[in-house]
Chains A and B, each alone.
Chain A
Amino acid sequence: LAKTTQPISMDSYEGQEVNITCSHNNIATNDYITWYQQFPSQGPRFIIQGYKTKVTNEVASLFIPADRKSSTLSLPRVSLSDTAVYYCLVGDKNTGRRALTFGSGTRLQVQP
C-alpha cells in the first residue's frame, strides 16, 4: 500500500511560488497522484491530478519525476487566500481504493 509523506507545515509570503513535495516511495505502476486543498471547517477541494511528467491547470502545476517516487505541487504567486492544508493522495487507477486515503497533509501559511 503506497504511503505518502509530506512536510507538516510551510511558510511563505504573498507573491512567492510555493512548492510542496510529497514522497511516495512505494508507488505502484498503476498508481496516480492527486492533490486536494482544505480550508478550516470546509470540505477538501480537488486541485490537480497526474500520472507522470508535468500537469498544469489554472490553479497549479504538478511535477512528477521519471521514477515517480515523489511529486511536487507548485502554486505560483501565492496569496493570503492560499493559506490552507494541502493533501497528497496516491491511488490505484484500477481499484481506486487507495486514492481515498488522505495523508497527514501540509499546512501552508501565507504571510502578507
Chain B
Amino acid sequence: DTEVTQTPKHLVMGMTNKKSLKCEQHMGHRAMYWYKQKAKKPPELMFVYSYEKLSINESVPSRFSPECPNSSLLNLHLHALQPEDSALYLCASSRGLAGDLSYNEQFFGPGTRLTVL
C-alpha cells in the first residue's frame, strides 16, 4: 500500500463549527505533515510530526490543532475558522526524517477541500 488517504474529500463548515480532517498511511513512514494550499499558490507547510511527536509548527493559529494518535494516523482539528482559511489541506508522509536523504520524498494525499462560510 503506497497511498496516503484523506477524509473527507470536501468539507463545508461555519465559523462556529468544530470539525476534523483525517489522514492515514500504512507505509510505515516515520514523519507526517500538514500543508495548506490556496488556489494557484504553492503548498505551505503547517505542521510536521516525527515519531508521533510534533516537531515543527510553522506558527499556525491555534484554531488549527494537529493530533497524531498513532504512527499511521494524523488528524487536524478545526475550530472557529475564518473564511480566509478556505483552502486545500494536504497531508503527506515520508519514510525518512530530517537528516535522511529520503526525507524529501514525501507522499501526498489527494487533499481535503475546505470551505468556511
Contact B104 A41 (CB under 8 A): no
Instruction: Say yes or no: A42-B45 contact (C-beta < 8 A), given A96-B103, A97-B98.
Output: no
Contact B4 A43 (CB under 8 A): yes
A interface residue count range (under 10 / 10 to 19 / 20 to 34 / 35 or more): 20 to 34
Contact B103 A99 (CB under 8 A): yes
Name the A residues within 8 Å of B101 (CB-CB). 32, 49, 93
Which residue of chain B lies nearest to A107 when distances are taken between CB atoms in the complex?
A: B40
Name the A residues within 8 Å of B92 (CB-CB). 43
Name the A residues within 8 Å of B109 (CB-CB). 43
The verdict on B69 contacting chain A, using a C-beta distance below 8 Å, is no
A-B contact pairs, 14 of them (CB 8 A): A32-B104, A42-B108, A42-B111, A43-B90, A43-B91, A44-B90, A44-B108, A91-B103, A95-B99, A96-B97, A97-B98, A99-B104, A100-B48, A101-B45
Q: A46–B29 Cα gap in the complex (Å)?
A: 15
Which residue of chain B lies nearest to A94 when distances are taken between CB atoms in the complex?
A: B99
Instruction: Say yes or no: A45-B108 contact (C-beta < 8 A), given A96-B97, A96-B103, A100-B33.
Output: yes
Which residue of chain B lies nearest to A96 when distances are taken between CB atoms in the complex?
A: B98
The verdict on B83 contacting chain A, using a C-beta distance below 8 Å, is no
Q: A46–B107 Cα gap in the complex (Å)?
A: 7
Q: Give residues 76-98 of B contacting A (CB, 8 Å).
A: 88, 90-92, 96-98
Name the A residues within 8 Å of B113 (CB-CB). 41
Instruction: Say yes or no: A102-B43 contact (C-beta < 8 A), given A43-B4, A43-B90, A97-B56.
Output: yes
How far in angstroms is the closest Cβ of chain A from B23?
11
Q: A89–B35 Cα gap in the complex (Å)?
A: 15
| Best-surrounded residue of B48, B105, B107 (most CB of chain A within 10 A) | B105
Q: Which of these, B99, B104, B110, contacts A89 with CB under 8 Å?
A: B104
How far in angstroms is the closest Cβ of chain B from A55?
12
The verdict on B42 contacting chain A, using a C-beta distance below 8 Å, is yes
Contact A34 B104 (CB under 8 A): yes
